[in-house]
């Protein structure tokens, strides 16, 4: 399993703890230090079965700074997320061809 993790985020820490409590030691990707590429983001969207806008943190300043909206194209959104990884909803947990957003952390149980 893989977790796109922000150690400063309580929900991300809770999701990681839930994985470990269930005997899973995931590959931890601190996405603020190692931002996902647009190709990786496209793959994540397929595994999540979500649109690019659905994985955005719309209340971050960068959302407005990048002039993003629900009408932005997927290409615009992926470019913005790759350049400003703080925009990525967190945590994202991946197992094989499936993924979930760990908000709430209990969503992780679907992959266990």
Query: Active-site positions?
Result: 9
Structure tokens at 96: 């094989």
Which residue from 19, 39, 13, 34 is spatially nearest to 94, judged by alpha carbons? 19
Start-end of H helices in the chain:
10-21, 38-48, 61-65, 74-83
């Amino acid at each position: 399993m893989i977790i796109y993790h922000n150690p400063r985020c309580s929900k991300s820490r809770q999701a990681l703890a839930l994985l470990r409590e269930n005997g899973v030691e995931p590959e931890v990707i601190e996405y603020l230090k190692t931002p996902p590429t647009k190709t990786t983001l496209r793959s994540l969207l397929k595994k999540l079965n979500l649109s690019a806008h659905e994985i955005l943190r719309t209340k971050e300043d960068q959302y407005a700074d990048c002039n993003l909206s629900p009408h932005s194209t997927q290409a615009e959104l992926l470019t913005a997320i790759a350049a400003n990884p703080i925009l990525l909803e967190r945590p994202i947990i991946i197992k094989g061809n499936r993924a979930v957003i760990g908000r709430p952390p209990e969503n992780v149980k679907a992959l266990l």
